[in-house]
A and B are shown apart, each in its own frame.
Chain A
Amino acid sequence: MTLQFNNETFRDDYSFHNSQRAIDRFPFPFHEDSYMYAVNMEQHQGGPADSVYEKRFDVDEHYVAEMADRAKVLDDDPLRCQSLPHMALAGWDLLELIMVSKSEDYPDLFELHREGHKWHWINKPLGIEDHFTFMDDTTLPYAPMEYITRQTQGDFCVLDQRKDNLWMDAGMVTTQADWSLDFDIGMNFFEWHAPVPLAHEKGIFKRALKFLLNIRQGAPARRLNWTMTVNPLLDTSPENYHKWGIQKTTLTPENIGAKQHLRVELQTFFRLPRSNALVFPIRCYLMSFQDIVTKPKWGRRLNRVVRDLPEELATYKGFIENRPMMLEYLSQFDDGLPTSFGVWPDEDITPLLQR
């Protein structure tokens, strides 16, 4: 596979775009025509060829542009990457996990050569090459977690496991759905999820925590989450909300297809062996409504999910004000036909007339 990296931006002129391949492999998050929270975990042990689930850390056409955007966010606000002092070992664990996975899964893009603690890392897309000593912070330009997550798409929460709970004690968070690492660092699993409506009452977090505490080395897990974003803006941080919030009011019936994006998070969970911490990468995929509806099943289903979502969730996900306009647009693509179970687009079962 030769990957072409897009020259694009996630701010200002928003030149971000998805190729046909990116549309085909988009992790559409709804397996049925309605949505409610569930502990929707499954093993992260591969997936269909060329899907976002296939590799341990998916690298796609947005890689280089996303890393440039992350560097810009960190220049503006270094607090987006933080680690409490006891998480240093977990940082090395994470660096090892990512370097080993990427060099094995994408040998044409990344190389790792190891002789004892002398490591040699080559990242061809970003033009990075470093020789360093494993477990020696002074031999890298950044601390290990920051070093490797400046080179890996997705946000990273590194969770310490203590007393039957998980603690958000380190992270690199620049593509977040409106939560602040600087504020949440040090919180436990229930505390950082505290603002989420409905799910606590349903016991979702208690069950999810029990599942996560038992994630074992060699057996990572994954789930999807989703929200809505106007414009392909990766950095929807609370820190900058007073700047980007206004963009939510710029939708019109004419521009909504291009401007309104479904934002999907592929969340994975890996046990980190040396520290017994857990890393929780949150990889963000953005897709405009007009690209989604090119898959007839996705268009029908998205209309139904958005239409029937409980008000608390539409408010929490920040699109209650725009829901009527979204439905006005999406309903054009919902002919009322039944949809098949599952997340895949199933193009070949679409009736001929609807193509």
Chain B
Amino acid sequence: MTANAPNSTAPKTLGADKLYVRVSAISSLNALVTRFEFQRVDGVNFPPFSGGAHTVVEMMDGEKKRLNPYSLMSDPTDLRTYAISVRRDDQGRGGSLFMHRKVKVGDEMVLSYPMNLFALDLRARKHLFVAGGIGITPFLAQIKQLEATGGNWELHYSCRSPDLGSYVDELTGHYPHSTTIYYDDEKQFIDLDNLLDGQPVGTHLYVCGPKGMIDWVRNTATASGWPLAHVHHEEFLAPQPGKPFAVRLNKSGLTLEVGAHESLLEAIERLGVDAPYLCRGGACGQCETDVLDSDGTFLHRDHWLEDDEKNSGEKIMPCVSRFEGKTLVLNR
């Protein structure tokens, strides 16, 4: 069916509406992490969200539009503000540096509606959180959600040093019995075997942090007999830089060069071609694109495509994946 036939009212923008916001507060938590708070330009409350959700922040960095996803880490029951925490990445592609160096209180910015790829499993009898570094952010909102609804949770949070322990004081102050902190500098490490041993049936385990930590937690859990259906992870997948490559877009008839420090999706957007996306991190599948012709090697980095789809050379996720070779033609 197509109800939006002639004489239809003009449909709003395809995809969700955007949120127009003003930066209401900026606070430096430590040498690496800064917290940004937003209020809506129109003065009304933000839409509700679920713990673990992220928003995509649009940054106008000179001519360049950057779109980076960040976990919402404010209290889901207080919708006057949204907050994110940004860890400065000096080796990254520039989004976090832009936030740290250029964004000032009072600036207007655009956020996407919240989207959750790391939701709580609400069937859980107990939620067991394992966080590493900036991976603490989604848990902050999830903890608030569980506190408001009477959920049972426990947090094990590993940081490099007391100086870099974002939100440690808040957590240990409010929830001293549910929170355990580990400092690498002080040779404190999560004793995972012991932690996993004896967790009651109905426990769900969540891990967010560096890739090495996610792999370690998943592998240890599997080896102790935990079903992976009870183990959840969120990985911050950022597009990796790579060699420049050329792409032809079949529908729009355009040919473009993807730069070393931009993603294929960003390059397509730069040319003004409308391409769908939600997470920009290789997880949601929304930007899946058909490959019409190729001669070269795909660098698939997403978590979405099945292995046979990756090997087929017929699909690519332009938000995180790249290409090296002579020819690449996309159905876009």
- Give complex CA distance A203, B122 in Å: 30
Q: Which of B8, B17, B53, B76 contacts A218 (CB 8 A)?
A: B17
Tell me, yes or no, whether A223 is within 8 Å of chain B by CB: yes
CB-based contact A218/B47 at 8 Å: yes
CB-based contact B9/A49 at 8 Å: yes
CB-based contact A343/B149 at 8 Å: no
CB-based contact B285/A210 at 8 Å: yes
B3 proximity list for chain A (CB < 8 A): 27, 42, 47-48, 51, 53, 222, 224, 343
A93 proximity list for chain B (CB < 8 A): 48
CB-based contact A275/B50 at 8 Å: yes
State the total of A-B contacts with C-beta under 8 angstroms. Answer: 106
* Known contacts A217-B16, A274-B50; A48 and B121 CB within 8 A of each other: no
CB-based contact A214/B114 at 8 Å: no
- Give complex CA distance A40, B1 in Å: 6
CB-based contact A216/B16 at 8 Å: yes
Tell me, yes or no, whether A45 is within 8 Å of chain B by CB: yes
- Give complex CA distance A60, B49 in Å: 31
Tell me, yes or no, whether A171 is within 8 Å of chain B by CB: no
| Most chain A CB within a 10 A radius of its CB, from B1, B9, B145 | B1
CB-based contact A45/B284 at 8 Å: no
Tell me, yes or no, whether B5 is within 8 Å of chain A by CB: yes
A342 proximity list for chain B (CB < 8 A): 2, 5-6
Residues facing A in B254-287 (CB within 8 A) are 278, 284-286
B9 proximity list for chain A (CB < 8 A): 46-49, 54
- Give complex CA distance A49, B9 in Å: 8
CB-based contact A219/B16 at 8 Å: yes
- Give complex CA distance A29, B145 in Å: 42
* Known contacts A43-B11, A48-B8; A223 and B113 CB within 8 A of each other: no
Tell me, yes or no, whether A11 is within 8 Å of chain B by CB: no
CB-based contact B286/A214 at 8 Å: yes
CB-based contact B113/A219 at 8 Å: yes
Residues facing B in A75-104 (CB within 8 A) are 84-87, 89, 93, 96
CB-based contact B49/A89 at 8 Å: no
| Most chain A CB within a 10 A radius of its CB, from B3, B7, B115 | B3
Tell me, yes or no, whether B116 is within 8 Å of chain A by CB: yes
CB-based contact A276/B4 at 8 Å: no
- Give complex CA distance A273, B8 in Å: 28
Tell me, yes or no, whether A124 is within 8 Å of chain B by CB: no
CB distance from B213 to the nearest CB of A (A): 21
- Give complex CA distance A96, B48 in Å: 11
Closest residue of chain B to A96 (Cβ to Cβ) is B48
CB-based contact A343/B11 at 8 Å: no
CB-based contact A160/B122 at 8 Å: yes
- Give complex CA distance A176, B284 in Å: 32
A84 proximity list for chain B (CB < 8 A): 123
CB-based contact A29/B1 at 8 Å: yes
CB distance from A290 to the nearest CB of B (A): 23
* Known contacts A43-B14, A161-B119; A344 and B5 CB within 8 A of each other: yes
A40 proximity list for chain B (CB < 8 A): 1-2
CB-based contact A45/B11 at 8 Å: yes
CB-based contact A343/B113 at 8 Å: no
* CB<8 Å pairs between A and B, sample of 21: A29-B1, A31-B1, A42-B4, A43-B4, A45-B12, A46-B9, A54-B9, A84-B123, A162-B121, A214-B278, A217-B49, A217-B113, A218-B16, A219-B17, A219-B113, A274-B76, A275-B50, A275-B122, A342-B2, A342-B6, A343-B1
Across the A-B interface, give the 7 residue pairs with the lowest CB-CB distance, nearest first. Answer: A219-B16, A218-B16, A86-B122, A273-B48, A276-B50, A276-B119, A224-B1
Residues of A within 8 A of B (CB): 27, 29-31, 40, 42-43, 45-49, 51, 53-54, 84-87, 89, 93, 96, 160-163, 210, 213-214, 216-219, 222-224, 273-276, 342-344
Other 10 A-B pairs with CB < 8 A, given A42-B2, A216-B115, A217-B115: A27-B1, A40-B2, A46-B11, A48-B9, A49-B9, A162-B119, A162-B121, A213-B285, A216-B113, A342-B5
